[in-house]
Structure 1
Amino acid sequence: MVSNGSSPRPLVGITAYGERARYGVWDNAAVLLPRTYPDVVIAAGGVPVLLPPVLESAAAVDRLDAVVLAGGPDVGPDRYGASPHPRTGEPRPERDAAELAVLHRALERGIPVLGVCRGAQVLNVGLGGTLVQHVPDAVGHSGHNPSPGVFGTVEVALEPGSRVGAALGSTATVRCHHHQALDRLADGLVVTGRATDGLVEAVELADVPFVVGVQWHPEEDATDVRLMAALVTAAVTV
């Protein structure tokens, strides 16, 4: 942990994208992350540390107090023994491998983990679960992903006594942008939140202090840092 002069502030690793990007006079391969992620970690009392999509990022977990598995592109269906759906995006094998390594190292160390959108899917796949590759096929609408670059507003019912429920209450109005979702749950994961259409929106790993996955994007609401604050609090107390 690092000190702010009065109390330690936990180091929170956030997995990042590896994409081609344009900035200034440059157009090249870049490691990037929406600014909302580090901003909400800071607002919740943590210190953000970006983890690039390389296997070596797993070694950095030994110096961290918590990990956020960020949102992003589809997890490769080969990771859970499925053939690609026509609507499944281009695979990012380097990122898949890196995030799975980060996840497993965090679980080995027993430090808190928060999976956001894709991150919740990485959590499920990493523990042996599978994914729905195109949500409209399952629920009959596109409300969870209205259009590219647009977040949907989804009502989620949360389980009393769960970690997410303790942070947010019995219900939450959340911002979603996902066309994939959890299908068969991995052993040890329990559902702690569902949308009104029945889609799984939150899961937790049983019998550990704080390993949570949510299909929504808590970093997109700067006025509500309760879930990230719960992660930071867990990082201090674990």
Structure 2
Amino acid sequence: MSKPIAAVTADTLLADMKPINQKMADYAPRPLLNALGRAGILPIVIAYDDYADPEEFVDTFDALVLPGGPNPSPRFYGEEPLWCIGPTYEKRDIFEIALIQTCLKRGKPILGICRGMQILNAALGGTLWQDMSAQNPKAFIQHMQKAPGNIATHYVDIEKESRLHSILGDGLYVNSRHREGIKKLAPSLTAAARSRDGVIEAVEGRDNDLVAAVQWHPENMDPALMDPLFHAFADRIIRYK
């Protein structure tokens, strides 16, 4: 039996670097590719293409992974950018939103990580806090941690009725590298975990298990703790394949 294939959308290195071919280099995080590989998934990295429709990519993979990256542009959930918003990259937003919508139509599983959870929520009709420290007075936890990115810094409580609970249990400490967060949850999603200041930390599809996403970066945490998340994703891909 061939391995399931998961497309990982690429981020783009915009720094003024040399040689010139690295100035706009597309890439995906190596720890994420390794985590997928340990779960028996064959990852392929796909970047947006100015000369093809996103829908043309979908026949080349079995599932979609939306990794971390820059803030989704507020225009995709009907808002103007606030002065405090971090970097955005609209070409990636457009590409990922089209891939999300096509994968859902075609019944292909999706896993979102950090920004991936946010663009998923925006694509399905939800909204985001552009900067929780400026907009959400209830968010008292340090969600943009100052500790190294692989260190777990705050606790999340996992909903007992969620599918995530069967994978990770009642709760755990996670790393946290985000200034934005879900404000209005998309109608087709349900919250699967929250931090203790009420911020949504994981989501799932309301009607089926096609979609799942987490706000933290599991690929940077202890594999013994987080590999079950990627193995569960592999199981979903095989079932839908």
TM-score by length of 1: 0.90
Structure having the higher strand fraction is: 1
Tell which deviates more after alignment, 114-123 or 87-96. 87-96
Q: Helix, strand or coil: the match of 2:25?
A: strand
Out of 21, 41, 48, which is 1:46 matched to?
41
Q: How does 1:188-199 map to 2 (within 5 A)?
A: 188-199=188-199
Distance in 1 (CA, whole Å) between partners of 2:238 and 2:29 is: 25
The answer for the alignment partner of 2:61 in structure 1 is: 64
One-letter amino acid of the structure 2 residue matched with residue 30 of structure 1 = A
| 1:76-119 superposed Cα distances (whole Å, 9 cap, x missing partner) | 01111111122212331100000101111111111111111111
2:103 aligned residue (102, 106, 113): 106
Aligned to 2:229, what secondary structure does the other structure show? Answer: helix
Match of 1:95 in 2: 92
Inter-partner Cα distance in structure 1 for 2:39 and 2:58: 20
Give structure 1 stretches of 5+ with no counterpart.
Answer: 1-6
CA-to-partner distance for each residue in 1:175-223, whole Å, 9 max, x for gaps? 1100000001111211110001111101111112330121111111233
> What amino acid does structure 2 have at the position aligned with 1:236?
I
Contact in 1 for aligned 2:149/2:175 (Cα 8 Å): no
Deviates more, 1:173-182 or 1:59-68: 59-68
State the alpha-carbon separation in 2 of the partners of residues 56 and 125 from structure 1: 20
| Alignment counterpart, residue 228 of structure 1, candidates 221, 230, 236 | 230
* Residues 100 and 122 in structure 1, CA contact (< 8 A), matched pair in contact too: yes
Query: Which residue of structure 2 lines up, in the alignment, with residue 4 of structure 1?
Result: none
Q: Where in structure 2 are there 5+ consecutive unaligned residues?
A: none
Identical-residue share of aligned pairs (%): 33
Q: 1:42, 1:48 within 8 Å by CA — same for their partners in 2?
A: yes
- Name the count of aligned residue pairs: 232
Q: What's the TM-score once normalised by structure 2's chain length?
A: 0.89
Kept in 2, the 8 Å contact 1:58–1:98? The answer is: no
Tell me the equivalent position of 2:13: 19
SS at match of 1:225: helix
For residues 158-184 of structure 1, the C-alpha deviation after alignment (integer angstroms, 9 at most, x for no partner) is 112322111111112211100000001
SS at match of 2:23: strand
2:139–2:198 Cα contact (<8 Å) kept: no
CA–CA distance in 2 between the matches of 1:44 and 1:13? Answer: 14
Greater mean alpha carbon deviation, residues 141-150 or residues 27-36: 141-150
After TM superposition, what 4+ stretches of structure 1 lie above 6 angstroms from structure 2? none
How far apart are 1:72 and its partner, in Å?
Answer: 0.4
Is the alpha carbon distance of 1:27 and 1:212 closer, same or farther for their aligned partners in structure 2, counting shifts above 3 Å?
Answer: closer
Kept after mapping to 2: 8 A contact 1:18/1:53: no
3-state SS, counterpart of residue 67 of structure 1: strand
